[in-house]
Amino acid sequence: MRLRKKARQPLLHLLLIPFCLVWSYPFVWMLFSSLKTNVEYVGAGLRLLPESFQWENYSRAWTVARFSDYFQNSVVITVSSVLIVLVVSALAGYSLGRGELPGKRWILLGMAALMFIPKGYTIIPVFQVIKHLGLLNTIPGVILAESSGAHVIFILLFMAFYRDLPKELEEAAEIDGAGFIRTFGQVMLPLSKPVLTTAGIMQFIFTWNSFFVPLVFTLNKPELRTLAVGMYSFAGENSVDYTGMAAGAAIALVPVVCVFVLFQRYFVDGIAGSVKG
């Protein structure tokens, strides 16, 4: 029996909307909890809305709990890491997509093999490497540790993009007397803005949400913590300041959610691309 065409739309919406509400309820609840007082929170039961908006929870998290420091660290580390990764992957992707590489097959095979090796247990040697570089307990050290990795997905994305650009562009640049670098810098790279954005957004979200690496590398210096690590320590130390923690969580999550909502097309395209590859 076929559903009447007209009924299909509203029926689906009727299904989807409550589902999505429940789906996103943890965030909603967290946001509203951050505006309650602690006493209110403990006795809240099901009540979502606070009596009055306690913005001072946010200022407490920002100053007393040092979320301002953590925020700054997260921004610095994430932005730097994104820049490094973009540069490294774009260069490599261009080389693989348009460069002349005898032995390219082996390089690609090696990259594919690397994709399967987990990062987890290499944290100890990475720690030692950073130590030998004298960058332990510094922001650059964390940035470096975060930017490490083979970035196979990004390189593949760049590689595919550059490869698919018409040869005429290259030829035209050659006629103008441009060498390898100029061709790349002035012609190809600007054209790859979509891939740059996609890779940039993906790396941004990945680094912003990173927990394990910053945890390990900021054990020694609480001032260097990122938001995720700071939140974890805050929860451990102030186990009874629930609304302060909710405010802190909001501070930590809102930026990445905003970035995502604004640029979601790119992010989704990137994910879709990775599964095809």
Stretch 130-169 residues interacting with other proteins (CB under 8 A): 131, 136-137, 144-145, 147-151, 155-157, 159-161
The residue among 16, 220, 30 whose CA lies nearest residue 138 is 220
Closest separation in Å from C-beta 167 to other proteins: 14
Closest separation in Å from C-beta 165 to other proteins: 13
Residue 216 contacts other proteins per CB under 8 A: yes
Residue 189 contacts other proteins per CB under 8 A: no
The residue among 28, 73, 63, 65 whose CA lies nearest residue 48 is 28
- Using a 10 angstrom Cβ sphere, with 0-12 exposed, 13-18 middle and 19 or more buried, the burial of residue 121 is exposed
Asked whether 277 and 156 are in contact (CB, 8 A), the reply is yes
Residue number, 50 or 161, with CB nearest to other proteins: 161
Closest separation in Å from C-beta 76 to other proteins: 8
SS3 225: coil
Gap between the Cα atoms of 11 and 14, Å rounded: 5
DSSP 220: S
Residue number, 118 or 168, with CB nearest to other proteins: 118
Residue 14 contacts other proteins per CB under 8 A: no
Gap between the Cα atoms of 95 and 86, Å rounded: 14
Gap between the Cα atoms of 46 and 38, Å rounded: 15
What CA–CA distances, in Å, run from 223 to 138, 139, 157, 200, 251?
10, 10, 36, 26, 17
Residue number, 52 or 107, with CB nearest to other proteins: 107
The residues, any chain, with a CB within 8 Å of residue 197's CB and separated by 6 or more, are 263, 266
Residue 211 contacts other proteins per CB under 8 A: yes
Residue 46 contacts other proteins per CB under 8 A: yes
Closest separation in Å from C-beta 191 to other proteins: 11
Residue 45 contacts other proteins per CB under 8 A: yes
Closest separation in Å from C-beta 52 to other proteins: 21
Closest separation in Å from C-beta 16 to other proteins: 6
Residue number, 57 or 89, with CB nearest to other proteins: 89
Q: Give the x-and-dash track for 222-261 against other proteins (CB under 8 A).
A: xx---xxx-xxx-xxx-xx-x--xx--x--xx-xxxxxxx
Residue number, 45 or 166, with CB nearest to other proteins: 45
Residue number, 52 or 254, with CB nearest to other proteins: 254
Residue 24 contacts other proteins per CB under 8 A: yes
Gap between the Cα atoms of 129 and 190, Å rounded: 35
